[in-house]
Amino acid sequence: MTVKPMVPFALVLEFRSGKLEPHTSRIVRRVSDLRGAFADSAALEALVKDGDPVVYEVLQYDVPEETGQLICCTTVLHSGSVGDEYFMTKGHYHAVRDTAEVYLGLSGQGYLLLMTEEGGISAMPMSAGTVAYVPPRWAHRTVNTGEEPFVFFAVYPGQAGHDYGAIQESGFNQRVRRGTDAPVLR
Ligand SMILES: [Fe+2]
């Protein structure tokens, strides 16, 4: 496939807030969008009734979703928990499994959880300056274990796509909960 010529562009990214200007799409995920993801569904429904807070936002400057392109976005994952489980993203495999992704931590702190369909498991702590590599075939989900927003930048191939369904069906093989002194990963 030939990529159509495009005009080069530059964006401005504010590390602290994750603000990306300009952006052409903004995805907002609230607690109600994460039904089934958290272990404590009663706590989730209570939060939904109590204003349905935003869990995370993704800002992106869209480019064509095709081979040869690279999609860049920032995610702002807010601080909070559902029961004792920290706020997290839905998590996904790439629809095209043979595509990788690079994450760069900008502010706050959390975990990058990864798994494969064959039972592979990995968890990486992330904070400002962490560059994390998500190899092809690894599902990925981020978790905010701090009191501030956890902000990171991501770059992935244009054709990758998102497969959320596989995670909704299988769940993730790790959870991160509030412990007495530190986050507990299980
Ligand atoms: Fe991804």
How confident is the model over 53-79, as a mean pLDDT? 97
Decide if 102 is inside a domain.
yes
Residue 92: CB atoms within 10 A of its CB come to 18
Decide if 45 is inside a domain.
yes
What spacing in Å lies between the alpha carbon of 166 and ligand 1's midpoint?
13
Decide if 118 is inside a domain.
yes
Q: Do 114 and 139 touch, CB atoms closer than 8 A?
A: yes
Decide if 31 is inside a domain.
yes
Decide if 7 is inside a domain.
no
What spacing in Å lies between the alpha carbon of 63 and ligand 1's midpoint?
15
- Looking only at the bridges linking them, the beta strands covering 81-82 and 131-134 are unpaired
pLDDT at position 40 is: 97
109-167 tens-digit pLDDT:
999 999 999 999 999 999 999 999 999 999 999 999 999 999 999 999 999 999 999 99
In this predicted structure, the answer to whether residue 3 has a pLDDT above a threshold of 70 is: no
Nearest CA-CA partner of 107 in 134, 144, 140, 135: 144
What spacing in Å lies between the alpha carbon of 95 and ligand 1's midpoint?
9
Check: pTM over 0.75? Answer yes or no. Answer: yes
82-102 tens-digit pLDDT:
999 999 999 999 999 999 999
Asked whether the bond before 22 is cis by omega within 30 degrees of 0, the reply is yes
Decide if 28 is inside a domain.
yes
Decide if 83 is inside a domain.
yes
* pLDDT band, residue 1 (cuts 50/70/90): low
In this predicted structure, the answer to whether residue 185 has a pLDDT above a threshold of 70 is: yes
Range of the domain at 65: 12-185
Domain count, the chain: 1
Give me the DSSP letters along the chain: -PPPP------EE-TTT--EES-SEEEEEEGGGGTTTSS-HHHHHHHHHTT--EEEEEEE----SSTT-EEEEEEEE-S-EETTEEPB---BB-SSSS--EEEEEEESEEEEEEE-TTS-EEEEEEETT-EEEE-TT-EEEEEE-SSS-EEEEEEEETT---B-HHHHHH--S--EE--SSS-EE-
pLDDT at position 145 is: 98
d(CA 136, CA 142): 17
In this predicted structure, the answer to whether residue 4 has a pLDDT above a threshold of 80 is: no
20-43 tens-digit pLDDT:
999 999 999 999 999 999 999 999
What spacing in Å lies between the alpha carbon of 99 and ligand 1's midpoint?
9
In this predicted structure, the answer to whether residue 178 has a pLDDT above a threshold of 80 is: yes
- Looking only at the bridges linking them, the beta strands covering 176-177 and 101-107 are unpaired
What spacing in Å lies between the alpha carbon of 87 and ligand 1's midpoint?
18
CATH number at residue 86: 2.60.120.10
* pLDDT band, residue 170 (cuts 50/70/90): confident
What spacing in Å lies between the alpha carbon of 101 and ligand 1's midpoint?
6
- Looking only at the bridges linking them, the beta strands covering 12-13 and 121-127 are unpaired
Decide if 70 is inside a domain.
yes
Those residues whose beta carbon sits under 5 angstroms from the ion ligand 1 are 101
What spacing in Å lies between the alpha carbon of 136 and ligand 1's midpoint?
10
